[in-house]
Structure 1
Amino acid sequence: MTTEANGTPFGTRRTFTAVVDGFDGFVAEGFERVAEEFGRNLSERGDTGAAVCVYHAGVPVADLVGGACRSDSVQVIRSASKGVVAILAHVLAHRGMLDFDRPVAEVWPEFARHGKADIPIRWVFTHQAGVTALDRTLTVADILAWEPAAAAVAEQRPNWDPGTAHGYHDLTYGWLTGEILRRVTGRTVGTLVREELAGPLGLDLWIGLPEEVRPRLADLLPGPPPSPELQRDPRAKALRTALADPASFASKALLNPDIFDVEHSRAYLGAEVPAANGVSDARSLARLYAAFTGEVDGVRLLDAAAVDAARREQAAGVDRVVGYFRRYATGFMLPDPTRPMAGLDTGSFGHYGMGGPLAFAEPEHRMAFGYTTVQEQAHVGADPRSRALAEAAFHCVKEIDR
């Protein structure tokens, strides 16, 4: 029998076998709905390999894997990496090593160029810095070397008056945040993740994948052709048109450089691209967010007041890059109609990755959630796979908490 932190019984775990249910793992009593939706993802919603993990009050209550993924599989989590970097930054800030309201240029003098001297570190994490569409064309070799990419964002003239708008800093988020953290700690993001997060919590989590882990990597699979609904959607059509033009704002922000053909190369995986090339699994992501918002096996990364500050809304409205409504905290996405997490009316926060990955916490109900999938999908609204799992998990948690 498993129990939550205050001793409330969850009941006997139900174990699932690949032969009977099409997937492996367990759910605690009361969380069967998560397993039902996971099975539907594999049988009805096109998931070819995936994993989901849910923590409640510091203990795992669901941990499932199926399809092409094994229990030890890890994968590239794309922009869910940004949430990992945000957690790291808040941990360092809580220790007094980082001040979100300090100007970036005070720790990174080269960044002051072209009117950026007063941009606070916080605006980098809230996508308000205006340094997302780069005028300099970067190569894959540039981003693997780090210094050319960092120099490009330091040299960039702001795309808008900083602080007056927000726009998704896709790849530049990683070079901006990573260089700031390197300047204040003397360590790279990959080293910090290993020493400050993965090590203490026993996580399978890397930015800069060790070669010995490479055999466990489950490669991402291209998605099916766009659905008729997606092809008709005016936002999707506008974005496709913009991305086809290398000179467009969207192309400079989202495809400079285009990394998708190298995502599984040894060189790319072994480098540090903090906005996009994190490697992990659902189990580790859920455990990380659980320890960020509560205690897990004696480890708590942040106190409640600091968590509330971390998830406080900083920017909301139409995103200058993606073209539709988004909400951001300091380094995290907040629920919106296309990225609902536990629900629009919840206090959840975390980060999605393109094509499917999702990790978030919902502190009011002591819930943390991780979902990874190797099967890319594109949708007009919320991804039905992660939405179904997150809604099921949140429903079960609320029932247990009654």
Structure 2
Amino acid sequence: MTLQRRVQYVLDELVSTGAETGLQVAVDHRGRRVVEAVAGVADSGTGRPVAAETLFFSFSTGKGMAALVAHLLVGKGLVGYDTPVAEVWPEFGVHGKESATLRHVLTHTVGVPAMPRGLGPGDLADWNRVCAALAEAVPLWAPGTRTGYHSFTFGFLIGEIARRITGKPMGRLLEDWVAAPLEVTGELRFGVPPSDLARLARLEDGEPPPAEAAEPDGVLAPWERRPRASMGNDPRFLRAEVPSVGTFTARGITTAYAAMLDGRLISPEQLEELSAVAFEGTDQVFGTPAQLALGYPAGRIGWPGGGGSYAYADPATGISFAITKNRLTPDFSTAQRLADLVTTEIAPPA
């Protein structure tokens, strides 16, 4: 049985058993698309089936694409990893953030993991207000000394750095620098134009998550920590440019990661640099051990999304993988099962 058929079998099984509602999976290996599979429905209310071009709001999977834009800024010589943020965004250099660099942003070590001033989901569409609040924020630790998951602030920090340098918003940079050159226009979005909203899968909440350990000091608000379908289905939120989250097709984001591996977007030398371990410590938000590269967990280049989406590139195996789905689950068992299947088939352990 081919890998395509194996993956399709698993997707069909997940839908038929009710474990999932609608999914896409795409896999590239060393320049070749080896899997492109879909199953289920994009909208349980209408029965609209999932297609390869269906867009899925995928929460923090978007952080991987925000980090990619940062790496492209560096690759183009527009900024350096150790450039102080305040050099391009002067207002940011106050209250102890003067030493914060792009490297610190990418390793979640700036010290502003939560939205400041009590900003909530309804405020995220106001780019200038959010960035002004971040500029005035007092960090919870000296930049570069600790790490803590910057849930929604991550994308705004990268995005304002990028805007100050290029004069363009993140959505335009993602389109111009990634989607258009790779011929996946309309499949990688930070903000969804109204004309594309009808293409989106409709999210639905799955089982509630298990009881979680107490968060140190309650750093993040509940909405920053735990995704809900209502947020990812809200047209106002979907249209807003919030680069810590994103809307993608599996084939679109897999194509982007594959282009990082094969040199179309990132040089081999830069890929090696950004893949190396850049910070190790205890995550101040979750209280768990953290080992981070530049913009990604160490090991695979990628990021999971709350609710179970996941996309990554593995320099060791040459595999680029993405799963998008519309049932929000409290774990990544579906993504892990499929990623393990793909890895075992393509690059079995010696």
TM-score between the two structures when normalised by the length of structure 1? 0.79
User: CA 1:182–1:252 in structure 2 vs 1: closer, same or farther (change >3 Å)?
Assistant: farther
Displacement of 1:202: 1.8
Indicate whether 1:350 and 2:302 are aligned: yes
Displacement of 1:68: 1.1
Q: Is the 1:52–1:282 Cα contact (8 Å) retained in structure 2?
A: yes
1:116 counterpart residue number: 97
Displacement of 1:208: 1.2
2:47 counterpart residue number: none
Choose from 248, 264, 276 the match for 1:280: 248
- Describe the superposition over 1:101-122 as per-residue Cα deviations: whole angstroms up to 9, x where unpaired: 0100000000011011111111
1:18 counterpart residue number: none
In structure 1, distance between residues paired with 2:230 and 2:325: 18
- Counterpart AA for 1:222: D
Indicate whether 1:370 and 2:319 are aligned: no
- Describe the superposition over 1:306-358 as per-residue Cα deviations: whole angstroms up to 9, x where unpaired: 11111111123321112222322111123xxxxxxxxxxxx422100001111
Indicate whether 1:128 and 2:109 are aligned: yes
1:254 counterpart residue number: 224
1:57 counterpart residue number: 30
Q: Is the 2:202–2:326 Cα contact (8 Å) retained in structure 1?
A: yes
Indicate whether 1:186 and 2:167 are aligned: yes
Give runs of aligned pairs for residues 209-228 of structure 1, distance below 5 A: 209-226=192-209
Displacement of 1:253: 9.0
Choose from 318, 337, 342 the match for 1:388: 337
- Describe the superposition over 1:362-385 as per-residue Cα deviations: whole angstroms up to 9, x where unpaired: 122211001011011113xxx110
Q: Is the 1:135–1:252 Cα contact (8 Å) retained in structure 2?
A: no
- Describe the superposition over 1:202-227 as per-residue Cα deviations: whole angstroms up to 9, x where unpaired: 2211111111111110011101134x
Q: Is the 2:261–2:271 Cα contact (8 Å) retained in structure 1?
A: yes
Q: Is the 2:8–2:38 Cα contact (8 Å) retained in structure 1?
A: no
- Counterpart AA for 1:184: I
Q: Is the 1:291–1:301 Cα contact (8 Å) retained in structure 2?
A: yes
In structure 2, distance between residues paired with 1:122 and 1:54: 29
Instruction: Identify unmatched segments of 5+ residues in structure 2.
Output: 43-49
In structure 2, distance between residues paired with 1:101 and 1:213: 37
Choose from 68, 78, 89 the match for 1:87: 68
Q: CA RMSD in A?
A: 2.3
- Counterpart AA for 1:288: A
Indicate whether 1:103 and 2:55 are aligned: no
1:267 counterpart residue number: 236
The structure whose Rg is larger is: 1
TM-score between the two structures when normalised by the length of structure 2? 0.90
- Describe the superposition over 1:163-215 as per-residue Cα deviations: whole angstroms up to 9, x where unpaired: 11100000111111110010111111011011111111122111111111111
Q: Is the 1:37–1:392 Cα contact (8 Å) retained in structure 2?
A: no
How many residue pairs get aligned? The number is 340
